[in-house]
Structure 1
Amino acid sequence: MSKVKEGDLVRVHYTGKLENGQVFDSSLNREPLEVKLGQGSLIPGFEKGLLNMEPNERKTIVIPKEEAYGEKKRELFQSVPKANLPEGMKPEVNMGLVATNADGTERQLRVAEVNENDIIVDGNHPLAGEDLTFELELVEIK
């Protein structure tokens, strides 16, 4: 039976969990993820976990934050004066925001703190700083 290697196109079902067991994503109620390995479209630890798997094999992998979304970076936290927010906006901790960069691209932010005169927004990936657990089931190697 063939095993997954870099460059293969694979279909895989997965369930991603945080350290506390909370599920943050799963493909079980939709089509399996189809991805070509070695193209940088997956976090490094997920791709490493797929290598050498055989079709119909299941396994659980733990991905340290360094091979997932990295540590939270302090430089991605910014203070925004409440006066700069849209009129009538009532920011709350964990509220998602979209900011438009000078070049017109958008970036996802999360409200980390709400203070009297400003809010602190976090531009890190929501899973930055987290070790992740994935339950994998290799459906097929195409």
Structure 2
Amino acid sequence: MKELPVDKGTRVTLNFALKFQDGEVVDSTFDKEPATLEIGDENLPENFEAYLMGMTAGEQKSVEVPPERAFGQHNPNNVQTFKRHEFSADMVLEPGVMISFADARQQELPGVVSRVEGDEVEVDFNHPLAGRTLTFDVEIIDVEPVGPAH
């Protein structure tokens, strides 16, 4: 049977690793169960899916992903300043703490405290990987057509 290439309408089982340029691993399935996803189901950002297109079972590759193809550049407009009293009194507010906000559409919007000074709390809503060049290692284990939904 001819090896099916990765394309829209396929279900792909793969191992992947996302690493910083210094080799630090951000996320990886190589040491656990492989991931299975359908192309176009938004489990993987579209730009990462693009790197998989045309690959077949048994293939491996490693690509360097610049910020604009990964999680975007760091945007200073995504850093907001709040007053301390806008948070509950028992909330720990220190740099690095992640807080979930609801945006205008009531979608969850995570922000990370970047600075606390006096009554001011600065929160960064950029993706934690924004502005980073990443290495995307991928190994395709299986590619199968997605059957009609039942």
Q: TM-score, normalised by structure 2?
A: 0.84
| Structure 1 residue identity aligned to 2:93 | P
Equivalent residues in 2 for 1:87-102, closer than 5 Å: 87-102=89-104
Percent of pairs identical after alignment?
29
Residue aligning to 2:128: 126
Tell me the distance in 2 between the aligned counterparts of 1:40 and 1:88: 36
TM-superposition CA deviations, 1:94-125 (whole Å, max 9, x none): 11111133554321110111212211101111
Gaps of 5+ in 1: none
Gaps of 5+ in 2: 145-150
Q: How many residues align?
A: 142
What is the aligned-residue RMSD (CA, Å)? 1.8
Runs (4 or more) in structure 1 with deviation over 6 Å come to none
Question: Would the aligned equivalents of 1:13 and 1:33 in 2 still touch at CA under 8 Å?
Answer: yes
The 10-residue stretch of structure 1 (96-105 or 75-84) with the greater mean CA deviation from structure 2: 96-105
Q: TM-score, normalised by structure 1?
A: 0.88
The 10-residue stretch of structure 1 (55-64 or 37-46) with the greater mean CA deviation from structure 2: 37-46
Tell me the distance in 1 between the aligned counterparts of 2:78 and 2:123: 8
SS at match of 1:75: helix
Residue aligning to 2:147: none
| Structure 1 residue identity aligned to 2:116 | V
Tell me the distance in 1 between the aligned counterparts of 2:56 and 2:70: 23
Residue aligning to 1:117: 119
User: Structure 2 vs 1, CA of residues 52 and 130 (structure 1 numbering), >3 Å: closer, same or farther?
Assistant: same
Q: 2:53 aligns with which of 51, 54, 58?
A: 51
Residue aligning to 1:77: 79
Q: 1:36 aligns with which of 38, 41, 46?
A: 38
1:8 aligns with 2:3: no
Residue aligning to 1:67: 69
SS at match of 1:46: helix
| Structure 1 residue identity aligned to 2:82 | V
Question: Would the aligned equivalents of 2:74 and 2:126 in 1 still touch at CA under 8 Å?
Answer: yes
Question: Would the aligned equivalents of 2:40 and 2:46 in 1 still touch at CA under 8 Å?
Answer: no
Shift of 1:87: 0.7
